[in-house]
Chain A
Amino acid sequence: MTDESNTWTIVAANGEGDSVELHEAKDSRLEHLRRQAVHDLVGAHAKADDYELLIGGVVQANLDLTLEAAGLHDHSEVVIMLKDVNRG
């Protein structure tokens, strides 16, 4: 556990497989997690809304859920993926 029992370490990865560790309160929202993941993996210029947040391979539709309510736990892994992949 990162800090007492309220802060969790969450591993966030992008579609390239690059990953970062984020430290989030377990009662913070998935939206905050997505924003942090996009910021750290893509950059401050990137728009979080352009990315989907996946837990266990499933796109999370309700980003108002807390980490805990979404079934995450300390050292869980999530993935961010661009919503629109360029097609030829």
Chain B
Amino acid sequence: MDVALSNALIDRDWEDFTTQVGRLKLGWPERDGTRIDVVVTAPGTTEQFRAALLCDDYDAIAPVLDFADLADPALLGRVHWPNIEGAPYNSVTYDGRYLPILCVVGTRGYHIHSSHSAEQHPKSSWRLPVVASRLHWFLRMGRLVGRGV
């Protein structure tokens, strides 16, 4: 899929996404092409995290959910993830690096994991408003126990 098409499909879903983010009080999304960042706060804390949705090839494939350094968004990876007690973490190798994933339909890590790559799911499973809901669900799964997974 070309970048222009991905951007057009993100444009299509952008209003629904920002509306859902607003309803869930997740934060304020910032978009740079096919990347969307949302600075979120773990419930019950003042700890902030920069969620990064990498939406290349949207919506043929699900967005990658990763987290980045708050001050330097270029720095992605496991050390920036919120460690939420009870969250269903796993990992894959993605783009040559270790990527934490959530074992739940809707983000790319799940769909490329060897346990799930043969599963068939409709594109609606990873539309941007759904991903916003998944991110909110993840953050309130349990107590924040630290930064890094």
Interface residues, chain A, with chain B CB atoms under 8 Å away:
13, 15-17, 54, 56-59, 77-79, 81, 85-88
Query: Which residue in A17, A57, A78, A85 is a CB contact (below 8 Å) of B104?
Result: A85
Flag if A17 contacts B130 (CB, 8 Å): yes
Interface residues on B, range: 20 to 34
Point out the residues of chain A lying under 8 angstroms from B25, CB to CB.
56-58
Task: Closest A residue to B124 by CB, please name it.
Answer: A16
Flag if A13 contacts B140 (CB, 8 Å): no
Query: Which residue in B17, B110, B129, B134 is a CB contact (below 8 Å) of A88?
Result: B110
Contact with A along B85-107 (1 / 0, CB 8 A): 00010000000000000011100
The 7 A-B pairs at the shortest CB distance, nearest first, are namely A17-B129, A57-B25, A15-B133, A88-B103, A57-B24, A17-B20, A17-B16
Point out the residues of chain A lying under 8 angstroms from B127, CB to CB.
16-17
Is B28 at the interface (CB under 8 A from chain A)? no
Query: Which residue in A57, A77, A78, A86 is a CB contact (below 8 Å) of B136?
Result: A57
Query: Which residue in A13, A16, A88 is a CB contact (below 8 Å) of B23?
Result: A13
Contact with A along B104-141 (1 / 0, CB 8 A): 11000010010110000000100101101110110010
